[in-house]
Homo-oligomer: A and B are copies of this chain.
Amino acid sequence: MSEMRTMTYAEAVREAMAIAMEADERVFLMGEDVGIYGGAFGVENDLYERFGTERVRDTTISELGIVGMGVGAALTGMRPIVEIQFSDFTAQAMDQIVNQAAKIHFMVGGQASVPLVIRAPGGSGTGAAAQHSQSLEAWFAHVPGLKVVMPSNATDAGALLLAALEDPNPVIVLEHKLLYKQSFAVPATFPKARLGEGRIEREGSDLTIVATSVEVQRSLEAAEQLAAQGISAEVIDPRTIRPLDTELILSSVEKTGRVLLVQEAVKFGGFMSEVSATITESRAFGALQAPVRRLCGLDTPIPYNPKLERASVPQVDDIVREAAALVREW
């Protein structure tokens, strides 16, 4: 565990899938172009050569169908992983995700459960425009019966995927396209993770930054710059947003008294509004020295133009600016 290696986020996802498939013959993968193509983002690469086309299954372009097949396979003894090529196409599969997978265990009174893992890359930054760049986690976080995971680094991408595969419930893992190619230091073995446990990525005392996915990386960079300005930022990554590690966030806010919530998704109705509401109606309300502040995506579909695209979601500079203002003005 102590020896570290360098690995991209995509490699970590691939390795976790391979570990699970080695260990458990019930695990298999279905998705569009996950076979010989190697995945639209190269996540699968040679996985089909290692495990064969029975366990790494290329499907037709039928998102609703393949998620539904995942539900059926999960109900009958398998542990399917379904890849949705871009998380935007979960829109095609919402019925099976929300009306079926999330509710079956409940609706049948516990007679069956749906251990299905759905992986889907989200986020902007690749010039893919409005239909291929959304961050839709808020939809899923609002659905009882689902668990929602957002890994922000390679270690978590692997560890949380393995945890998702151990879970008897449907879990949607929202990966990030920009992180796939990024390299991280990763322990020799993925640490055991538990869905619902967040982590303090960096300790600090002046304010708490809660961020998700790629914004965790940006927040860590921002914290570095803030430190140079004499501001000590604590950075929290909830890692799973449903269930949410509320305790970790509240304790931090009680300590720092200020909180900046950072997400790539559109602000209005986004997941960070839940975090904000949770904080302000909690015991931590009294500890707040400043109003909770959200820094989120602009209220727009993601544009194609690269400058506009960058401007549409929080960048490192924006986080530094907002965090500094929060500390200086209050």
> Could you tell me which A residues sit within 8 Å of B by CB distance?
64, 88-89, 91-92, 94-95, 97-99, 102-103, 106-107, 129-131, 136, 138-139, 141-145, 242, 244, 265-266, 268-274, 276-278, 280-282, 285, 291-294, 299-301, 303
Known: A277-B292, A280-B292. 17 other contacts (CB 8 A): A91-B99, A102-B301, A136-B142, A139-B139, A142-B266, A142-B268, A142-B269, A144-B268, A242-B268, A269-B274, A270-B274, A272-B277, A273-B278, A277-B277, A280-B291, A281-B292, A282-B291
Residue contact B301 to A106, C-beta cutoff 8 Å: yes
Q: Among A64, A91, A271, A303, which residue has the most Cβ atoms of chain B within 10 A?
A: A91
Residue contact A301 to B91, C-beta cutoff 8 Å: no
**How near does chain B come to A77, taking the closest CB pair, in angstroms?**
24
Q: Which residues of B contact A285 (CB under 8 A)?
A: 291
Residue contact B269 to A294, C-beta cutoff 8 Å: no
Residue contact A300 to B106, C-beta cutoff 8 Å: yes
Which of B95, B142, B268, B301 is close to A270, meaning CB atoms less than 8 Å apart?
B142
Given A91-B99, A106-B301, A107-B129, are A138 and B277 also a contact pair (CB < 8 Å)?
A: no
In whole angstroms, what is the CA distance A92 to B280 when docked?
A: 35
In whole angstroms, what is the CA distance A294 to B136 when docked?
A: 23
What copy number does this chain have within its complex? Answer: 2
In whole angstroms, what is the CA distance A102 to B244 when docked?
A: 30
In whole angstroms, what is the CA distance A276 to B95 when docked?
A: 29
Which of B91, B102, B268, B271 is close to A98, meaning CB atoms less than 8 Å apart?
B91
In whole angstroms, what is the CA distance A237 to B44 when docked?
A: 50
Given A103-B301, A280-B276, A280-B292, are A138 and B95 also a contact pair (CB < 8 Å)?
A: no
Q: Which residues of B contact A138 (CB under 8 A)?
A: 138-139, 142, 269
Given A138-B142, A142-B268, are A107 and B95 also a contact pair (CB < 8 Å)?
A: no
Identify 13 residue pairs between A and B in the complex whose beta-carbon atoms are under 8 Å apart, listed by A's number: A91-B97, A106-B300, A107-B131, A139-B139, A143-B266, A144-B266, A144-B268, A144-B299, A144-B301, A273-B274, A273-B276, A276-B277, A277-B294
In whole angstroms, what is the CA distance A211 to B91 when docked?
A: 28
Q: Among A268, A285, A293, which residue has the most Cβ atoms of chain B within 10 A?
A: A268
Q: Which residue of B lies closest to A290 (CB)?
A: B285
Q: Which residue of B lies closest to A285 (CB)?
A: B291
Which of B88, B136, B143, B273 is close to A273, meaning CB atoms less than 8 Å apart?
B273
Q: Which residues of B contact A277 (CB under 8 A)?
A: 272-273, 276-277, 280, 292, 294
Residue contact A106 to B130, C-beta cutoff 8 Å: yes
In whole angstroms, what is the CA distance A294 to B64 when docked?
A: 34
In whole angstroms, what is the CA distance A106 to B134 when docked?
A: 14
Q: Which residue of B lies closest to A271 (CB)?
A: B269
Residue contact A95 to B91, C-beta cutoff 8 Å: yes
Residue contact A130 to B142, C-beta cutoff 8 Å: no
Which of B88, B91, B98, B268 is close to A141, meaning CB atoms less than 8 Å apart?
B268
**How near does chain B come to A50, taking the closest CB pair, in angstroms?**
33
**How near does chain B come to A268, taking the closest CB pair, in angstroms?**
6
